[in-house]
Structure 1
């Protein structure tokens, strides 16, 4: 990322500007409470012609501080002076508390009669029944109040006034929230939407483009970090922190901030949205790593599979098992392997990803299977066959342990040993996928893509899955909300399942590993032949599951 203006250029510009207005500054004396860009926002909102205002902004420039001043002025007015309730919405409780605290400060500064800041609970209902959400508010003698609410669109039901949606690009269901907020305009309300960007296809940016293109008659402002600095942001920081302002100090502070955000500086500081809605990996980079020849092993069973006879079930399973057997036989058992498993049963796919760890530590996709509408017992047997075949060379396996996936993870732990993430001797770790886990391990996978340390089979559906990973509130992950579009390859709906299996396999490949028991390794059999290990008669398989064990058990 290249800054629009270099550190040296900014230092020179600010020194020249400062010299030109020294006399004016001496006459003004103590700085005004609001900086010019904050004043401009308040002025626009105070105009009766501004019903809707969208502001694209740099991070941490104090715009919320200015909006708090406006909220106190608007809620403190009588009805005859266009007073109204003000509702503040953001994605975190910490931000709502900061906003209410700032409003209380402004109310005292403006000497507006306000009651005690209070914390209250509003009853809120959803599909799962009644629950309560926290809200904070200040009541004014005017009869109006400032209320901070959750970002759920239903929180606006039955209310009227001015709605402020802060960091709108990061709230859940922004389209629905805007729909609920814009309904306030029918009775003379007001809507303020401000945010840092989160991708070109984010709803926030799409509305901005509609405004700029003349398709929506809303007011619009753009305030990047340089606009804020020109208006005295760093001087105000120096005033608050007790540091002497200088052009050199401001230029260094600006450059340090740009360096801190790195590749994200364009979006975070200069209001330039990235391509895609927080997209994690660009398609050209993914395609560049899809260099492994081969195919993805896919199995989809009919909805009535469990009602079929054993013979019919076997006929549906055997073609897949033949392909699985051939894929396993082709593995180079001189390499080490790591496995990732993402479980699903009905709506999504089960995906198993086996990575080979090459001598230079490059991870290469050695085998991948996808299962759709496959019963849990069959899934376990297929997975067991893969792990058993590479057991002597397996460094670890990461299993999605959210929901029903926990049962598969437990069964594999019983057979292959449990690992708890600290390097313990087992091979299988049950991973509780969370924002914290994604934040810790997704960046490592991205680095592997960027450094050409991972190689995958070329597959359009897997490209789609990896493209579904978005940066959500700073964390790369597959969004919880399932997208409606279909993948271009199979034509079936997907939910980024391969991406989850892949990051679990990559995670497993990076765990500390030590052999904890001796297991003999047989030589790879000649091409076309399998090393046969008789199955004990007492374990003679029955039914379709038995056919899997019988077909695979002799050579795993």
Structure 2
């Protein structure tokens, strides 16, 4: 006869059997499913209203906020672990500095383009012409160095003012290893010219197979127009969230 086991618990740090079991399930090394229910989830589902009903008290938003504050004050420094399902000592990086530095190479070429704020308000034909000049002068020689028969891919991280937009074309070797061909860094570039650069790169990548684009915030625009041009099956619009990290990082780490 079959059966099932349900384990309900809060965390007790990262280095304990309960958290290791969760990691094994998320990494696909053990059958099962993980159901994560935080204190805030319970509040949204009516936990305090249910308490008021059982105790014969009138529910008010003010009373609920006060009750929540009291609960969190009671747990103090343990609130994240006991209420938010975040195990202690979980600040370890998936990509350590040592790992990143070991993957760095001075051989990777970078095409950089930065403009002043006034560029955004120039006539469209001038912006397009300057953008095309950058693409032809800085990017085309890098594209020319790609193996013509290799499959290619693209990763993108979006930025507009304080952060850079970075394009990372990759090509696949015979052993299925993927190498970064070069990088394109765009600083303070208007949305339309970012689109122009993105299309220029992808249009000229040999045997383009697909890309993953940052679709958070304003980055959603570039991800959307890329999916419209190259197909939703080839362009993944990635929206980073807590749930995304929970779903994707454990298998990546394993």
TM bracket, shorter-chain basis = 0.5 to 0.7
The aligned residue for residue 69 of structure 2 is 149
1:369 maps to 2:176: no
Residue 364 of structure 1: how far off its partner (Å): 0.9
- Given that 1:281 and 1:446 are in contact with CA atoms closer than 8 Å, whether structure 2 keeps it comes out as no
Q: Distance in 2 between matches of 1:315 and 1:432?
A: 31
Give the RMSD, CA atoms, in angstroms: 4.0
CA deviation digits over 1:425-478, x for unaligned, max 9? xx223333333333333345546xxxxxxxxxxxxxxxxxxxxxxxxxxxxxxx
- Given that 1:305 and 1:313 are in contact with CA atoms closer than 8 Å, whether structure 2 keeps it comes out as no
Find the residue that maps to 2:61 and give its secondary structure: strand
The aligned residue for residue 330 of structure 1 is 145
Residue 119 of structure 1: how far off its partner (Å): 8.3
1:295 maps to 2:109: yes
Count of aligned positions = 213
Q: Distance in 2 between matches of 1:350 and 1:395?
A: 21
1:442 maps to 2:252: no
Q: Distance in 1 between matches of 2:43 and 2:134?
A: 58
Find the residue that maps to 2:76 and give its secondary structure: strand
CA deviation digits over 1:277-325, x for unaligned, max 9? 3322221122112246122222211111133466688558734641111
Find the residue that maps to 2:154 and give its secondary structure: strand
CA deviation digits over 1:346-381, x for unaligned, max 9? 232212121212222222111221212101111111
1:431 maps to 2:245: no
1:345 maps to 2:160: yes
- From 107, 115, 119, the equivalent of 1:305 is 119
1:197 maps to 2:88: yes
- Given that 1:398 and 1:430 are in contact with CA atoms closer than 8 Å, whether structure 2 keeps it comes out as yes
Length-normalised TM-score, structure 1: 0.33
Change (3 A) 1:311 1:116: closer
- Structure 1 gap segments, 5+ residues each: 1-56, 62-90, 105-114, 124-132, 138-146, 157-161, 172-194, 200-276, 420-426, 448-556
Change (3 A) 1:96 1:430: closer
Q: Select the structure with the greater relative contact order (CA < 8 A; seq sep ≥ 6).
A: 2
Change (3 A) 1:280 1:315: same
- Given that 1:300 and 1:372 are in contact with CA atoms closer than 8 Å, whether structure 2 keeps it comes out as yes
Indicate the structure (1 or 2) with the bigger Cα radius of gyration: 1
Residue 388 of structure 1: how far off its partner (Å): 0.9
Q: Distance in 1 between matches of 2:252 and 2:151?
A: 18
Q: Distance in 2 between matches of 1:316 and 1:396?
A: 24
- Structure 2 gap segments, 5+ residues each: 1-11, 18-37
Length-normalised TM-score, structure 2: 0.66
